[in-house]
Amino acid sequence: MISGFDTTKSQLYHAAPVHLSIVRACRITAFALTGAVAAASGLALVGWAVARPALATPFGGSAAMHPLTAIGFLLIAFALFPLLPGVPGRVETGAARGLAVAAAIVAGTKLVVARADGPHAWLILLAIALAVALLDTEIRGWRPAQALLVIGALPLSIVVLVGFLFGVTELYGWGAYTPMARVPAVSLLALEIAVLAGRVEFGVTRIFVVRGAGGVTARRLLPAVVVLPLAIGYLRLLGQRRGLYGPEFGVVLFTLAMMALFSILVWLTARNVHRVDLAHAEADLRLHALIRNVPLGVVVLDLDGRVQLCNNAFIEMFHYSEHELLGQKVDDLIAPEGDAGETASLTRRGFAGESVRRSTVRRRRDGTLIDVELYVVPLALNGRPVGTYGVYRALADRRAPQARARDAGIA
């Protein structure tokens, strides 16, 4: 929860309800993957330069990494390194974008002029280069870099790697084009994960690091949805190829294994989500108990100025029942007559994100006036305004006795 609507991105980052330890782990993972890709690409270029193909083919029979592919990987890696710490300076950002654009030009040119090489590798490389160039760009709450990877590059890379895993050439070699090599395929996936992990606390990936039920569910279920079917499917195919069982029995084994593992996974996830819900319920009870019993009058308003919550001190101060207050516009109930819009103005300032402290006058249910010190505190959730707190402290009545008698109706 963040008070004030004029918070900067840096303030939102530090105040956001995320697991900072997971964010740091994702940053470290992004650095490690980027470094591994840079090392493999550099080694491949050295292999081509000294005529040692074994350096460009570390897995023996796999095809060698193309020199232009290695150059593209290096450009993206060196563009990503200065951006990963989180908030780079203008110089670092400009240089990184320049390298990413250069990688995009290499990939785009190769995509256009290639004749024998498969276009899928260059399509993925182009998407990654553009994603790095647009890494911190945000348009109306969504990030183009994530869209390029999640919708385009990442699914295509997974298809290619599934082809390698199951030995289906059609998935990593398109028609008459040269099939993609294993090292570039793995490197492409590593760069995609590095880009997403480098800004995991923003956009669509934020759900993986948030505190709460949604974060627990995402961290447990989504990786399992990807990994478990691949692992079980591979083991089933391996046993079938070795003649341990036929296709029908293999399908049965796959189905039963998936049912058992996902049942266990869902049960474990549900148990953790239930623990999170209990912790939130306990925190809510403590907060409500504090608000209810604090000696200051507290009222919580939504964006329409209607009462969502009020405590006992507020009820005693203004002589309304809770039933009469909930769902009503508080300004209509306690604003003194003829205040020239001062009450409504303070409420609007709170909605606009301004914290206000003011000594003023408010009206009780019977029409009498009371001197109060008012605190208007903006209420926001993840940077979005959701209402205001109004905190009232009764002041000693400093008006003349004649005015007090007139307000009380005994003059």
Structure-token pair, residue 358: 């003011």
Residue 148: predicted pLDDT: 94
Structure-token pair, residue 271: 């148990």
- Please write down the long-range contacts of 176-181, taking CB distance under 8 Å and 24 or more positions apart: 176/116, 177/116, 177/117, 177/118, 177/119, 178/63, 178/116, 178/117, 178/118, 179/63, 179/118, 180/63, 180/118, 180/120, 180/121, 181/57, 181/62, 181/63, 181/64, 181/65
Domain range summary for the chain, segments of one domain joined by +? 18-206, 210-293, 295-408
Q: How far apart are CA 148 and CA 373, in angstroms?
A: 53
Residue 57 and residue 81 in contact, taking contact as beta carbons nearer than 8 Å? no
pTM: 0.68
Give me the sign of the Cα torsion angle 343, 345, 351, 354.
negative
Q: Is the pLDDT of residue 287 over 50?
A: yes
Q: Is the pLDDT of residue 85 over 60?
A: yes
Residue 180 and residue 172 in contact, taking contact as beta carbons nearer than 8 Å? yes
Query: Which CATH number, 2.60.120.10, 3.40.50.720, 3.40.50.300, 3.30.450.20, labels domain 295-408?
Result: 3.30.450.20
pLDDT digits (tens, 9 = 90+) for 339-362: 778 888 888 888 888 888 989 899
pLDDT digits (tens, 9 = 90+) for 366-391: 989 999 999 988 887 766 788 888 99
Strand (E) or helix (H) holding 41: helix 20-49
Which of 128, 121, 234 shows the shortest CA–CA distance to 179? 121
Give, as one character, the DSSP assignment of residue 208.
G
pLDDT digits (tens, 9 = 90+) for 9-22: 444 333 447 888 99
Least confident of 50-64, 266-280, 327-341: 50-64
